[in-house]
Structure 1
């Protein structure tokens, strides 16, 4: 009897285990690489950048078509606009391979909560795509720009964002989880990198844009957008954006000019940087202490200086300390002017004294504008390059 019962259970489960009951074939899906969200009147305008498999396949001979195509539809809600696209797409849109989300400046200023709710609620969206804000143009225009080297524009945007953060510093690659964490934190506000088009945007939508040595238009990351909770309230310039990344300990590699003792400048390349932010209370008032330790190589010399002289190197290090401190102070001053803590200083204060934080968190952005902040920089030159003396000295 017991054996018969087990046999009946096995028979009941066999139909369930005997195949992929919810399978979706690749030729039935339209893979979305990037998504753009604009506002038109009271409606959202959603644009999807869809990959053309035949044009990106290594075995495909190509048919003179673009590697991607875009579909756009309007709706009072984002999900409504997405489903309305089925009236013009040959296949159902598939979002699990989404790489970039571009939000227009207008949508960002009104607030991103409605946008992010759909993206976090739908299980088809993974959370590893990057989010940026289109600056001075519609988000849909960003998705229509064809780029050389990378066939899929979304892949170009993703790799360029990652590379610029690692090698330049005034940009930051933010994924969905990081953005949600900043939005829900009491002691921090989110930031996103801005993106725009350099050149003639309309010409960048044609295949001729990737057939020229110098394309008509290129996508370019530009500055960091500052949010108060989910609403865009301002922008950091290049210097202020670099200062933000220094404070957040996100600088891996960057370059910058340092004034020489006499006429001219030299360029240093930061190869390592570590920032520690500590909080403490002095006379019952919160304060922040920032310590930056950086190492760099001399990359370019455009002045007369003896790099074999240890005293000259020490002077460069001291001047670099001053330059770094100025970069951070400039960034903090801009954030205080905007009235938002984008550095997570509130979280630092919370960890320092959770009890005191309870009385501070309600008006933390206002407290932040008066927060005393001290900055210490310890900068070291490691290498001076393959030559000690610049040919400028001989000339």
Structure 2
């Protein structure tokens, strides 16, 4: 009994010593960073830009705040990203804390040189979550993107995060990629990375447009928007997809949620096919000793707009519009895949992974020179589009206009 009492006493003492948060951080000691930009300087160093929340201004939503900017920008250069972030404490009264990061913007010049090394810190830091989006600044430096004040959303980082999610779901020419997916694609021999491009349109004097005055105007002179997809070979940027190619990528990789497609009518004019559901299945095979890819795409949608005289009450009209959509979209898909094969010669679609799943033994031989195999790869595309609804009205009132 004495032994049991002794053991319980020791355990109680040990537990009392281990209670509490030994590594706790007080909020008033941290600079909450919601967005970060990585650029390359002329002397080969990293320029790190941190977009930090201004707590007093965010609290202004509940009655406090003094009308200051909702975010503050801190910048530093360093031989490594980690060094630059730590050097920010020379100016920032609080330690840069990126655990709530929402956007990482990588400058185009840095992306061309390679993003693997600067991403090592972000994948290694145990305090950093990986549920933030990564984008490449196109035509401007990452620091310029982070310095643009935004309307609707007080913090630019939240605006970019929400904007990318909405665009990826409604337009399908952009792609919301998080850090884990990016790193997986970089190290995979059967699929290469793709990131959405982001750019800043800045008009007039930067001292005015990059100040709070920017969001006080109806037509803001400085805007940030997502545009095109960046193609990578391993960790290096090698080019940009156009809009049709970007949409093709999202369709084939099963990332298309919704979009709209203009289709021609038989007697002139256009109708709009609104995609509401898209499902793409990619299968690899070896035929006559050579790899091939079969893509089967099933699409459901609605008639979103009619700018021609057609009778939507007839089934043959619906069949005609479905065939018109299938023909129009398949031509774009086939052309875009071929262009990517010939121009970039890297497999961004994951066709190599599809071959690997089907025939691992054949893939072990093909992967050694997969870029060349991808360039000559035969891709068979089947597309079926169904119209589920025609809207709240039947035929367009345009039919009654003479």
The TM-score with structure 1 as length reference comes to 0.97
1:86 to 82, 86, 89: 89
Q: Which residue matches 2:363?
A: 357
Name 2:374's counterpart in structure 1.
368
CA distance in 2, matches of 1:20, 1:270: 50
2:137 is matched with 134
Question: How far does the alpha carbon of each residue in 1:19-69 deviate from its partner, in whole angstroms, 9 at most, with x for none?
Answer: 222211111110000000000021110000000011112324331211001
* Residue ranges of structure 2 left out of the alignment (5+ in a row): none
Identify the residue that residue 30 of structure 1 maps to in structure 2: 31
In the other structure, the counterpart of 2:177 is 174
Quote the Cα distance in structure 1 between the aligned partners of 2:184 and 2:83. 27
> Residues 280 and 287 of structure 1 are in contact (CA less than 8 Å); yes or no, is this contact kept in structure 2?
yes
Q: Give me the CA root mean square deviation.
A: 1.3
**CA positional deviation for 1:199:** 4.2
Distance 1:12 1:353 in 2: 56
Displacement after TM superposition at 1:136 (Å): 0.1
- Aligned pairs (5 A) from 1:58-77: 58-77=61-80
The alignment partner of 2:301 has SS state of strand
Most deviating of 309-318 and 32-41: 309-318
**Do residues 389 (structure 1) and 395 (structure 2) align?**
yes
Q: Which residue of 2 aligns with 1:212?
A: 217
For 1:267, the equivalent position in structure 2 comes to 272
- Which secondary structure does the structure 1 equivalent of 2:62 belong to? coil
Deviation at 1:370, TM superposition (A): 0.4
CA distance in 1: counterparts of 2:146 and 2:22, whole angstroms:
35
Q: Secondary structure at the match of 2:305?
A: strand
Counterpart CA distance in 2 for 1:5 and 1:387 is 80
* Larger mean Cα displacement after TM superposition, 6-15 or 272-281: 6-15
CA contact 1:242–1:327 (8 Å) conserved in 2: no
Offset at residue 204 of structure 1 (A): 3.7
| Residues 288-312 of structure 1: CA deviation (Å, up to 9, x unaligned) | 0011111111111111211122212
* Correspondence list, 1:1-395, <5 A: 1-2=2-3, 3-17=5-19, 19-41=20-42, 42-57=44-59, 58-200=61-203, 202=206, 203-336=208-341, 337-395=343-401
- 1:144–1:204 contact (8 Å) kept in structure 2: no
TM-score, with length taken from structure 2: 0.95
The whole-number CA distance in structure 1 between the counterparts of 2:296 and 2:263 is: 20
Cα distance in 2 for partners of 1:248, 1:4 equals 63
- CA deviation digits over 1:268-323, x for unaligned, max 9? 11011111111111111110001111111111111121112221211111111111
Q: Which moved more, 1:60-69 or 1:43-52?
A: 60-69
Structure 1: gaps of 5 or more residues: none
Return the offset for 1:198.
2.9
